[in-house]
Amino acid sequence: MSASLPPIPEQQEPIDAPQLLELGTPEEEPCLRADAARNRARLLEAAGRLIAEHGASAVTMEAVAAAAAVGKGTVFRRFGDRVGLLTALLDHSEKKFQAAFLSGPPPLGPGASPVERLRAFGCAALRRAVEELDLQLAAERGPDRRFTHPARRLLHGHVVLLLRQAVPDADCELLAQILMGYLDPAVIHHLTKQCGMPLERLEAGWIDLVARLTRTEPPG
């Protein structure tokens, strides 16, 4: 491995060692007081109701405060900004996904070949994105923060690690960016909502892309 490459989350750890990341705001306390925890749950419940009834665009700090019957300042103190609030809503599913590919059963988790795991990783990420597309798009960070967020770095690092096992002679850093680009929520929105492509086609495209990049045959 070239010394010039930036450090990748996971690369110094066994692949089956869970390294779950929290998506909450950095300043959030590990153990909230009981009343603070109740307030946080109440705010997230209110935000979830707004998304279910009106879509993610309806989730503003003011709207969540009104729906939870608290002051707007309470929402800002708890989550920092709108992206922090939406990110907190994604926290549960993100932790479940991380646990599945870091330590869950194969082929997504350890125990399968790296190529099989890459196939399973992309298909699982596509299904999750389609289910949460509105929320994932709303929680998307700006270009200056999109690729440096810890959760994104963990996903990217996992793909790099599998690629290094499957095609050690390749520039796995750049190949991982290609694969992660396929899983971008904005791309998935364009393909499913604007182009009308079914999820099955996206999954088949992912499997084909993995086969081409790893120089392997797709499953029969």
Dump the DSSP string for 138-182: HTPPPTTTTTTSHHHHHHHHHHHHHHHHH-TTS-HHHHHHHHHHH
Ranges under pLDDT 70 in the chain: 1-33
Q: Name the one residue in this structure whose structure tokens are 């290094």.
A: 164
pLDDT tens by residue, 104-158: 999 999 999 999 999 999 999 999 999 989 888 888 877 777 788 888 899 999 9
CA distance 111 to 98: 16
Q: pLDDT value at position 25?
A: 43
Q: Which two tokens stand for residue 35?
A: 């009343």
Q: pLDDT value at position 23?
A: 47
Q: Name the one residue in this structure whose structure tokens are 């991380």.
A: 98
Q: Name the one residue in this structure whose structure tokens are 């120089």.
A: 215
DSSP letter string, 63-112: HHHHHHTS-HHHHHHHHSSHHHHHHHHHHHHHHHHHHHHHHSSTTTSBTB
Report the predicted TM-score, pTM, of the whole model to 2 decimal places. 0.74
What is the percentage of the chain residues whose pLDDT exceeds 90? 46
Q: pLDDT value at position 32?
A: 53
